[in-house]
Amino acid sequence: MICRHWVRPIIITLTGLAFLCGCRYDGPLMVETITPSVTEGPTSVKPTTSPTATATMTPVLATPTALPSPTATTESETVIITVVYDNNAYDPRLQTAWGFGCVVERWETTILFDTGGNGAILLSNMATLGIDPVEIDIVVLSHIHGDHTGGLGDLLATGVRPTVYVPASFPASFKKQVRAITTLHEVDGSQEILPGIHTTGQMGTNPVEQALVVETSQGLVVITGCAHPGLAEMVRRAGQIGENEVYLVLGGFHLGGASRSRIAGIITAFREMGVQKVAPCHCTGDQAINMFAAEYDDDFIQNGAGKIVEITP
Ligand SMILES: [Zn+2]
Ligand SMILES: [Zn+2]
């Protein structure tokens, strides 16, 4: 049985940190739908679950979830990325709220990258998508802002015990609260979490942030929470991992208030780095979304809550 004495402070702490996120709210996306070559999730599916329904609570685990065998291969495996939390709508069955979170599935490994800001919405969206919290082996938190970490308390309150990876610079109180419940790893430099799944390591300051980097059959997939340290810088760091080029960059690009010239410079840097596809959401901003869509054309992936990107060998 989980001790709510510990869960509650996490919720309060993370709610209190929500205001720190410099992401600007830009409202729902209004961009034309472009069909990417990767498999997309449903665009208009009749709801099977009430939008306000909460997730079915899973059995309480006595011990932390055992991580999958480190002998997994990566090149021949399908990788599925499902956006479970975003302020932009994609699957109309899901709730939207300011923040970001996505589930990365590869073989028998399931990773939740960021938890959104509201645990009830996170769990509701996961339930609608058929993702049971008990399936999550690992949680990776990009940065301390509440719209990326606020759902963790409610997730752990379901009784699951994923291993949690956070930047080492996270507040001591936060790390202590998580450690009281489950296994916590502090990330400093770039490291391989599982074979073929990496973190860039801590980048930037105020806030420090890490991005997730997944080796796939098509190249590297870089997932950013907010990209506060600089989008091009984070992708450049990610591109130094392994020998493959960056195939896809997905997540918050944090360009809500950026000038056209700055956005154009980042797009140029993406092209120079060989980034093949983009799937911006969360704090990217409408102007940057539209500029990326114009530049990447068929390689632009419209993104939002409920979007599913499947990368197959
Ligand atoms: Zn942020
Ligand atoms: Zn954010």
Q: For the chain, state the CA radius of gyration.
A: 18
Both tokens assigned to 244: 């493959």
Residue 93 lies in a domain: yes
> Residue 72 Cα, ligand 2 centroid: separation in angstroms?
32
> Residue 202 Cα, ligand 1 centroid: separation in angstroms?
14
Residue 58 lies in a domain: no
HSE of 156 in the Cβ direction (CA atoms, 13 Å)? 31
Residue 64 lies in a domain: no
User: Do 196 and 109 form a contact (C-beta atoms < 8 A)?
Assistant: no
Residue 36 lies in a domain: no
Residue 40 lies in a domain: no
Distance CA 160, CA 83 (A): 20
Residue 309 lies in a domain: no
> Residue 19 Cα, ligand 1 centroid: separation in angstroms?
9
Q: How far is CA 8 from CA 13, 142, 150, 294, in A?
A: 8, 21, 11, 45
> Residue 228 Cα, ligand 1 centroid: separation in angstroms?
7
> Residue 47 Cα, ligand 2 centroid: separation in angstroms?
27
* CATH number of 185's domain: 3.60.15.10
**Which pTM value belongs to this model?**
0.81
> Residue 69 Cα, ligand 1 centroid: separation in angstroms?
33
pLDDT tens digit at each of 313 positions of the chain: 333 333 333 443 444 344 345 543 333 322 222 223 343 333 332 222 333 333 322 333 335 555 555 444 556 789 999 999 999 999 999 999 999 999 999 988 999 999 999 999 999 999 999 999 999 999 999 999 999 999 999 999 999 999 999 999 999 999 999 999 999 999 999 999 999 999 999 999 999 999 999 999 999 999 999 999 999 999 999 999 978 899 999 999 999 999 999 999 999 999 999 999 999 999 999 999 999 999 999 999 999 999 999 999 9
Ligand nearest to the CA of 285: 2
> Residue 257 Cα, ligand 2 centroid: separation in angstroms?
14
Residue 96 lies in a domain: yes
Domain count, the chain: 1
> Residue 145 Cα, ligand 1 centroid: separation in angstroms?
5
> Residue 198 Cα, ligand 2 centroid: separation in angstroms?
21
> Residue 68 Cα, ligand 1 centroid: separation in angstroms?
30
> Residue 116 Cα, ligand 2 centroid: separation in angstroms?
8
Ligand nearest to the CA of 284: 2
> Residue 304 Cα, ligand 1 centroid: separation in angstroms?
17
User: Do 38 and 277 form a contact (C-beta atoms < 8 A)?
Assistant: yes
The values of phi and psi at residue 184, to 5°, are -125, 135
Residue 63 lies in a domain: no
User: Do 191 and 199 form a contact (C-beta atoms < 8 A)?
Assistant: yes
Burial (Cβ within 10 Å: 0-12, 13-18, ≥19) of residue 33: exposed
Domain range for residue 206?
4-19+76-304
